[in-house]
Structure 1
Amino acid sequence: MTAAARPLGAALAAGLAVSAVLLSAPAAHADQWRDQQYWLEDYGITEAWETTRGEGMTIAVIDTGVDSGHPTLSGAVVGGTDVSGAGDGGAPVDQIATEHGTLVASLAAGRGTSAEAEEVAALVEEDVEDLDEQEWEDWWEDFESALEEIYGEDWQDEVDADALDEFQETRSAPRELTQAENPDDGVVGVAPEASILSVSLLLQDPNPYGGGTEEQIAEAVTWSVDNGADIINMSLGSGFQEWPESWDEAFLYAEQNDVLVVAASGNRASGHLSVGAPATIPGVIAVAGVDESRRISADSSSQGIAVGIAAASEPLVGALPGDDYMQWNGTSGASPIVAGAAALVWAANPELSAQEVKHRVLSTADSEGAEGVDPEYGHGVLNVADAVAGDVPAFDASQYPTLQEWVRVHRRGEVEDTETNEIPEDSGVVAGPEGEPRAMPQPEATSTAQDWAGPVAVSAAALLVLAVLCMAAIHYRLLHRHQDR
């Protein structure tokens, strides 16, 4: 790792550590958390669900690892990797903010949980494979009675009949048996039918297990593209607007493969007053944070010309590793809300490119702040219903900068060596011995005003003196001749 990369890695780590702020201990009932997700109604998400819930879309969460066993993420995580050398897609060893990736994933694509379903889950966790036939019949009778106590007389309408039959035949209960089709409790993501790829990294420099932050980010982005991500969420940031040149290739790879990247703008509370990389990279949607009243968060939102849009950053709720939930603040939570919204837009409009999805998300935002693109709100506050199914202005690619164009303008290209096999005869250049540099051509001597002005002035003065003397001599001779007469 270069010396320049070390402060970048430290800044990334510091920003992430502050972005997930615990505000309260887990509540007793999952429905208490669902009631706090005000953005589901306020941002038109529940309205957008009438069109799509994100099926078929894949969101890569580049973060501290995701607990795929949490009830709200059951079935959501379809793959993952660890790029730090310290884990396997879950939270790496010695990780800071181990809950961060799970919180983020739950807001993007959490399935939600049902209190009743959790009670059923507790029933079927009992080991029944070794029961004899009579014991099994007695157990099943008690199980059906428990289902009636949980759901009421119409319990059969609440449980998947095919899954129930399979359980009775095999004594192995599928998870689907315990999940309601549209659960009303627990934290639910913006795109609850999208899939999650968990890409874990270790935000620590130096990293005792492998590459530093700079290398991990580049590898994580590339892996996400190669493994089917449509959208990449990066709820991490630095205090630097610039990014390592080594990131160019990875983010260009995402851009060229039509993968949309969404990143948190950063948090003022962590000392990041201005948006930092990777949110500053052209083509990335940089997400600012607002409170429930749509005011820019005093602590949880950085500002700058890179800001694309704002979304809820306080107060937030999310899933904790294990079976719990918590309250938290930060643009780390605003970013997956926008990533989930992009998944809904793309699922409803699969013919769009990544840039066109970005256009729908930004151009339909509810206007806030200064006219045009505001340094705090960007294009405004997220409006998911309009982004999914509303009318949008015609797409103009020139309005959206790309990393490819930025690299062309701002990165120095490599100059290719040119070969000269022969020296032109009229060049005046004499070739030196083999292996020695050629003699450089010398410019011809050029005349200047200083070269000729002096001699000309002297000559002119001499001629003038001579002319005066001649005139004097002629005048003298004429005068003398006149006297002789």
Structure 2
Amino acid sequence: MSAVAGAEPRRLRRLTAVTLAIAGLIVLPGFTVTPSPSPSDPDPLRAAEYWLDDYGIRDAWKTSTGSGVRIAVIDTGIGKGPVEFSGVVGGTDVSGLGSPDGRTPVGARDPDHGSWVASLAASRGTSPVTGMLGVAPDAQLLSISVGFGVSASVPFAEQIAQAIYWAVDNGADIINLSFTTNTPDWDRSWDDAFMYAFEHDVVVVAAAGNRGSGTGVVGAPATIPGVLVVGGVDPHGRASREASTQGITIAVAAPSENLLGVSADGKVVEWDGTSGAAPIVAGIAALVRSAYPDMDADDVINRIIRTATPPAGVTDLPDPLYGYGLVDAEAAVTASVPAVRENPLGSLAEWITIYRRANLVPDPEPTVPPAAVEPLPPVEQQAAASPLLPSTESLLYGTVPLAAGTVAAILVALGVTAAVRRVRLASRAPRR
């Protein structure tokens, strides 16, 4: 099974004076950001994060900032240096390529991908008033480094399964998967791994994939029942032509264009892709779980999809491009939403039962009692006889008839012989 890391960013470009002119940023050599006045935020870098205002995230912060919630980022690894990632509390490497703490970026292509994803979910900024903020800035992070290329010594499917088990065992409340396999099917080992997450009340968020990177339809893990799948939209809330795909498993949509990300070396970049839309929703899930500590994963997912805003002109929901609509963080943490008894996005356990035949229905109990059969009479015990001596049966049916027949044949032969002699003697006598 191969995978595309991040599902993937359509393009990557460093923040320059040209690309950030609208945001009021001036990027100097070395990529040091010098703030300039901004009407919406004292820090122009934060002002460039349009999704914070457009999707109700700043308003949601009045209720929750993600405190007490742990997000596991299963990706290329979260950089160790930037102060924005001071919320990382643990990590591991499952690829055989990174460091034991999962903080060394791995992969020849986009090794900073995991850092970009983490910064959108839970970056803590460079100070209380400067630097990029994630959607849930007070949430904790787990860094699990995965190798997406053929150079990894561990098969990709096995890496993901191990990563999920590790994340759950280390207290993850939310798992973010910003990659696609470009195929709807998944390895059987993922059945147990994802079930392990669901059974331990973990919200699993996955990117839908990008048409710009060759993903025509949603692929695994975004096809797994129960996963919160995120499609992408442009800054105007329209389905992204390049940085998103479509499919019936998409649950909600979030920004996937003109996103910001903090690299492992602390540099800020602009990038596109549902790889970024997914951690935005993972961050919103963290805000909900922080606001409602006793709420289970099924209800967290239900709040996010039921409070989403339907896009203009779309009435038949869920939609293959937008799912149930555009996420609304403020509504997700404040609206009154009835509780549910099961995951509204489907049951992986039921899917396994139907398609894997893993949980077969036991044979029904018989309704008619079995007929009683009287036992056979006991076998008469006989003393063991020598195989060299004849038995009674062999004497009666074999030896005696054979002996009698032999005697009779001998007598007949003697009679015939005597008769022949008399005939010969009679023929030799002289005639008178």
TM superposition shift of 1:392: 2.0
Kept in 2: contact 1:237–1:277 (CA 8 A): yes
Q: Which residue number corresponds to residue 119 of structure 1?
A: none
Q: Alignment RMSD, CA only?
A: 2.2
Amino acid at match of 2:57: I
Q: Does 1:29 align with 2:33?
A: yes
After superposition, the Cα gap between the structure-2 partners of 1:241 and 1:416, relative to the gap in structure 1 and judged at 3 Å, is closer
Written as runs of structure 1 = structure 2, the 5 A alignment for 1:273-312 is 273-312=216-255
Counterpart position of 1:97 = 110
Query: Deviation digits for residues 386-422 of structure 1, max 9, x if unmatched?
Result: 000112245353744111111111112377999xxxx
Structure 2: unaligned runs, 5 residues or longer? 17-26, 35-42, 364-369, 374-432
Q: Is the 8 A contact 2:105 2:112 kept in 1?
A: no
User: Contact between 2:245 and 2:321, CA under 8 Å: does it hold in 1?
Assistant: yes
Q: Deviations over 1:224-252 (max 9, x none)?
A: 00011000001111210111111000000
In the other structure, the counterpart of 1:229 is: 172
Residues 424/397 of structure 1: CA separation in 2 closer, same or farther (3 Å cut)? same
Matched, 1:56 2:68: yes
Q: CA deviation at 1:17?
A: 7.4
Q: Shift of the alpha carbon at 1:323? A: 2.2
Matches within 5 A, 1:29-178: 29=33, 31-73=43-85, 75-88=86-99, 89-114=102-127
Aligned length: 341
Of 321, 334, 340 in structure 2, the residue corresponding to residue 389 of structure 1 is 334
Q: Distance in 2 between matches of 1:417 and 1:345?
A: 40
Matched position secondary structure for 1:188: coil
Aligned to 1:454: none
Alignment-derived partner of residue 474 in structure 1? none
Partner of 2:256: 313
SS of the aligned residue for 2:13 comes to coil
SS at match of 2:232: strand
Residue 336 in 1 paired to residue 336 in 2?
no
Assess, with a 3 A threshold, how the Cα gap between structure 1 residues 76 and 398 changes in structure 2: closer, same or farther.
Answer: closer
**Which of 316, 327, 330 is matched with 2:270 structurally?**
327
- Is the Cα–Cα contact under 8 Å of residues 211 and 244 in structure 2 kept in the other structure? yes
Aligned to 1:190: 135
- Aligned partners of 2:266, 2:349: CA distance in 1, in Å? 43
Larger Rg: 2
Cα pair 2:75 2:145 within 8 Å, conserved: yes
Structure 1 position 90, deviation (Å): 2.2
Equivalent residues of 1:84, 1:92 under 8 A apart? no
What CA deviation, in whole Å up to 9, does each residue of 1:55-83 have, x standing for no partner?
Answer: 0000000000001321211x210000000
Give the match for residue 207 of structure 2: 264
The higher relative CO (CA closer than 8 Å, separation ≥ 6) is in: 1
Report the Cα distance in structure 2 between the residues aligned to 1:248 and 1:55, rounded to whole angstroms. 31
C-alpha separation between the residues in 2 aligned to 1:323 and 1:198? 16
Q: Identity across aligned pairs (percent)?
A: 46
When the two structures are superposed, what TM-score results if normalisation uses the length of structure 2?
A: 0.75
- The offset of 1:335, in angstroms, is 0.3
Report Cα offsets for 1:176-205 as digits up to 9, x if no partner: xxxxxxx22221000000000000010123
Amino acid of the structure 2 residue aligned with 1:66: I
1:19 aligns with 2:9: yes
Q: Which residue of structure 2 aligns with residue 159 of structure 1?
A: none
Distance 1:199 1:323 in 2: 19
TM-score, structure 1 as length reference: 0.67
Give the conservation status (yes or no) of the 8 Å contact 1:274–1:304.
yes
SS in 2 for 1:113: coil
Shift of 1:32: 3.5
Where is the helix percentage greater, Structure 1 or Structure 2?
Answer: 1
Judged with a 3 Å threshold, the aligned counterparts in structure 2 of structure 1 residues 340 and 364 are, in CA distance, closer, same or farther, namely same
User: Structure 2 vs 1, CA of residues 398 and 324 (structure 1 numbering), >3 Å: closer, same or farther?
Assistant: closer
